Structure 1
Amino acid sequence: MSTTSTVNTARYTNHNAAAKKLNLKEKISYGFGDFGNGFMFDLGQIYLLKYFTDVAGLPAAAAGGIFLVSKFFNAIVDPVVGSSIDYRKRIGSRGKFRPYLLYGSIALAILTVLTFISPNLSTMGKLMYAYASYMIWGIGYSFVNIPYGSLGAAITQNAEERTQISTFRQMGSLGALLITSVIVMPLIVQFHDPKIGYPAVMAIMAIVGIIGFFICYRNCKERVIVKEGPREKLSVQSVLKTFIQNTPLLTIVLMTVFSISAYNIKSAMIAYFAQYNLGNVELMAYMNFIIIGSSFLGVLILPLLVKFLGKKKTAMLGFCIGTLADLANFLLPSNVYVFTILASIAFIGISLPNGITWAFVSDIIDYGEWHSGERKEATTYSLFNFSRKLAQALSGFLSGIGLSLVGYVPNVAQTAHALIGIKALLCLYPAVAMFIAMLIIGFLYKITDKRHAEIVHELELRSGH
């Protein structure tokens, strides 16, 4: 045991209420937070690249660069935002995290619409606007998503209930992804001018997002209450110390770079695959309805799998299923039926580790407090979010650069080389990335469910001193 683990944390954190059972309403409401989140986040992941290339008229490589630079910038901003939340001196009656969901979601909705506006400027002017709007959007997203993610560790410390709220969170995320994937493009094509259609439809989606966050804010309660902020001053060194000393966090960060980049590149490329490989962009709505809808099966059986296999082995099983299905999809000839079936299996697979990840992060927050004597939910979650932003940057960059390398030209029939390249970006890269993620979690992650229970028990004993 680390010497730092003997620090008495009673003066910092109250764990006594954390054992209280959650009712179903609160669990579902927590999932609505990610439902609302998806109605703003998923729009950028699925449609922004296509908007940049096909509506704003930006070169594919330049559009990919927007994702790379903006996401990397926001990855650096995340720990700053997270630490600023943890180091707040005054915490009001509404809690440490919940107020950000209420007010931040409104600002994020406005910023979401602004990213889908292209002013009548030169190509360089449009690029500058795209960079600025997406980077500012990322800052707004951090001030909503980090408190929301941190809230999960403050609701409960019970391992079974953490799996359950993670399941509802993943259901909310998938629900938003399903709806936005299915209805957005058919709504946009109803407008004669896509420059009007995109921001109009995104505004409707963003309003739904605000409602989702409000439901979460209204019905969730913070129970693991931090009495005092961290003793050390906020600095770059304190943030790096939190990162370096938490080995499980480092492992999940590395895993997430591969798993989320696999997930996001699928979302970005399926519109291109439907339009050019299958010949009809409107097929995207039907395929996504089946593919994403099927992934709910994985989420529904997630608690049962965790009960029998544990979180770690369940995550590895999901990665294995996703890898095999995507590899088969790449090797077989393009056919809408075969593709949809295999893509559905792959999404079922990847929904398992994506759902469990939230429970991993909450466990890692407990580990960090056990190890260091200080509870830093927002800092820890923001450092985890750093990996998600890197993965998003990687997937956006690979999508844009990949399209450029394979010879993609917007709104014309593609060459055979370009069609193979689109399919490789959609299927082959995710298969390789998920296989690497499986190896990382299998060999490097050491917090078993049993070990986490021991850590929580020790934290409860300290807070009772």
Structure 2
Amino acid sequence: MTQHSVTLAAAQPAGAVQTPLLTLREKLAYGLGDVGNGFMFDLGQIYLLKFYTDTLGLPPAAAGGVFFFTKLFDALADFSVGTWVDRRRNIGPRGKFRPFILFGAVPLGLATVASFWQPGFSPDGTLLWAYFSYMLFGLIYSIVNIPYGSMIAAMTQDPVERAQLAAWRQGGSNLALLITTVCFVPLLAWVPTSQQGALWVVGGFALAGVLLQLFCYANIHERIGRPEAVQRRAPPFPLLDGVRAIGRNTPLLLLCLVNLLTFSAFNVKLVAQVYYCQYVLRDIGILPYMGFFSMGCVFLGVACVPWLSKHRGKKVTFVLGCAIWALGDLCNYFWPTPGALPFILFSCLAFFGSALVNSLYWAFASDAVEYGEWKTGLRTEGMVYSFFTFSRKLSQAIAGSLPGVVLAWVGYRPNSVQTPTAEHGITLLMFIYPGLLALLTLVVWWCFYRLDEVRYEGILLALQQRRQATGPAGDRA
């Protein structure tokens, strides 16, 4: 038995459930799965708005509308997919969640390429194509990503290992963000200068993403859940009961609220930084360097999460991250200095703090699965995770549409020298919006979140005792 398992056993109440430890290969594979997801998702989140405004020639407000309405569609798709996953009962040897990764990877890669295709239509036709292609991408992404995220709750119930899995996932997400931020713009200079030349770069990222998702599928395993035979016989729980269970899951609802704040802040920052480097700093070449150093600090933050979570708890780690994030962004705004170096240094501080915040969301969401099961008697991994991602898609809708609206309001003109008003609008998006939302998140989480490690261990013990009392036939989870 490892030192970690001895420590965990000593910390748990007598009779608490013991879960098998995960292998390093499994954690690595799970993290690489989000590298694959990120290669395709980050291209759209960071560069697609600029592609719409500067390449397709869509008006900024119309381009922002594409993000707003397609992300609302994605949010509904997430919850539908989560419900579908939870109500599946003909579960084969591949498991409950893994088949979605296997069969959805290639279609997701094709949809990524389609969203960056220049159709050559009329302005109205081009706008319709932007809506169709990005909605298609969002639907397929939901089908792949909802089961992938739900896997944490099915892989382990060990809270330390869940924090580690969440950190591996965030590390994978940040690695994808680093590579797309640093490499995408330089690679564009290497491809043919034809109208569709950028598709070569997008296609390369999409192919790499598909291969990484397939590697993830082949190396992760579902451990938590009832025996397969019981799953095949059990009828699906009523849909209305599942919805009511979500409404009674207080930690999940609070998690969705703060995620709406921080994920919106983070994604607005990602979109704004492309415009900020080109039009405020007047050097788009800074973007890869900023991405390299700031993402390096993100990896440092991700590496700190397991230790901080184990010794200080997830709640304290999360609040600390919010404070550091807000400090970095607000310093960048209120103490501007000439040159790119101070901007990069304060940005590194902000991204380090954001890593502490974003790394823990998946662990909190998995904890909410057990809380919901304890509270209502229903184990709804898919619905919990999809409701959580519903809030993320709402924040993406805000993050995608808000920059377009602000750019139109301040008089942004593509590929031109901007007015002082436009530059200040971009600066507000880059620093003030994320900095203030990080502060608000700190206050909300510190004051209202109550599901700490001690209470979580008590819930696990209560669930084990409930299962032992009722037997497999009485366990509807």
Give the TM-score range, shorter chain. Answer: over 0.9
Q: Could you tell me which amino acid in structure 1 is paired with residue 307 of structure 2?
A: L
Give the superposition deviation at 1:89.
2.0
Distance 1:435 1:349, change over 3 A: same
Q: Does 1:123 align with 2:123?
A: yes
> Residues 141-186 of structure 1, C-alpha deviation per residue, up to 9 Å, x if partnerless?
1001100000011000001111111111111011010001110111
Give the superposition deviation at 1:282.
2.0
Give the superposition deviation at 1:456.
1.1
1:319 is matched with which residue? 322
Q: Could you tell me which amino acid in structure 2 is paired with residue 59 of structure 1?
A: P
Q: Does 1:205 align with 2:205?
A: yes
Distance 1:130 1:238, change over 3 A: farther
> Residues 167-213 of structure 1, C-alpha deviation per residue, up to 9 Å, x if partnerless?
11111011010001110111113335364132221111011111221
State which of 368, 371, 376 in structure 2 corresponds to 1:372: 376
Q: Does 1:350 align with 2:354?
A: yes
> Residues 233-291 of structure 1, C-alpha deviation per residue, up to 9 Å, x if partnerless?
33xx3453132111111100000001101111111111111111111212211111111
- Preserved CA contact (<8 Å) 2:87 2:236: no
2:139 is matched with which residue? 139
Q: Distance in 1 between matches of 2:141 and 2:236?
A: 28
* Consecutive unaligned residues in structure 1, runs of 5 or more: 1-14
- Percent identity between the two aligned chains: 43
- Preserved CA contact (<8 Å) 2:61 2:408: yes
Q: Does 1:284 align with 2:283?
A: no
State which of 403, 406, 419 in structure 1 corresponds to 2:423: 419
Q: Secondary structure at the match of 1:401?
A: helix
Give the superposition deviation at 1:230.
6.5
- Preserved CA contact (<8 Å) 2:87 2:237: no
Aligned length: 449
Q: Could you tell me which amino acid in structure 2 is paired with residue 351 of structure 1?
A: A
Q: Does 1:297 align with 2:300?
A: yes
- Preserved CA contact (<8 Å) 1:30 1:165: yes
Q: Could you tell me which amino acid in structure 1 is paired with residue 399 of structure 2?
A: S
1:159 is matched with which residue? 159
* Consecutive unaligned residues in structure 2, runs of 5 or more: 1-14, 470-477
Distance 1:20 1:271, change over 3 A: same
Distance 1:266 1:195, change over 3 A: farther
Give the superposition deviation at 1:71.
0.2
State which of 228, 233, 237 in structure 2 corresponds to 1:232: 237
Distance 1:299 1:71, change over 3 A: same
TM-score by length of 2: 0.91
State which of 257, 260, 266 in structure 2 corresponds to 1:263: 266
Q: Distance in 2 between matches of 1:89 and 1:231?
A: 7
Q: Could you tell me which amino acid in structure 2 is paired with residue 324 of structure 1?
A: L
Q: Does 1:331 align with 2:334?
A: yes
In the TM superposition, 1:40-119 aligns within 5 A as 40-119=40-119
- Preserved CA contact (<8 Å) 1:114 1:133: yes
Q: Could you tell me which amino acid in structure 2 is paired with residue 299 of structure 1?
A: V
> Residues 18-69 of structure 1, C-alpha deviation per residue, up to 9 Å, x if partnerless?
6111111111111111111101111111100010001000001110111110
Q: Secondary structure at the match of 1:19?
A: coil
Q: Secondary structure at the match of 1:94?
A: coil
State which of 444, 447, 451 in structure 1 corresponds to 2:448: 444
Give the superposition deviation at 1:462.
2.6
State which of 398, 406, 412 in structure 2 corresponds to 1:394: 398
Distance 1:372 1:152, change over 3 A: same
Q: Could you tell me which amino acid in structure 1 is paired with residue 98 of structure 2?
A: R
Which segment is superposed worse, 316-325 or 223-232?
223-232
Q: Could you tell me which amino acid in structure 2 is paired with residue 70 of structure 1?
A: T
Give the superposition deviation at 1:444.
1.9
- Preserved CA contact (<8 Å) 2:332 2:431: yes
1:307 is matched with which residue? 310
- Preserved CA contact (<8 Å) 1:291 1:343: yes
Q: Does 1:241 align with 2:244?
A: yes
Q: Distance in 1 between matches of 2:150 and 2:244?
A: 19
Q: Distance in 2 between matches of 1:230 and 1:438?
A: 42
Q: Distance in 2 between matches of 1:189 and 1:231?
A: 53
> Residues 431-455 of structure 1, C-alpha deviation per residue, up to 9 Å, x if partnerless?
0111111122112211001111111
2:474 is matched with which residue? none
Q: Secondary structure at the match of 2:196?
A: helix
Q: Secondary structure at the match of 1:147?
A: helix
- Preserved CA contact (<8 Å) 1:268 1:399: yes
- Preserved CA contact (<8 Å) 2:329 2:347: yes
- Preserved CA contact (<8 Å) 1:189 1:197: no
Specify which structure has the bigger relative contact order, considering alpha-carbon pairs within 8 angstroms and separated by 6 or more residues: 1
Structure 1 vs Structure 2 CA RMSD? 1.6
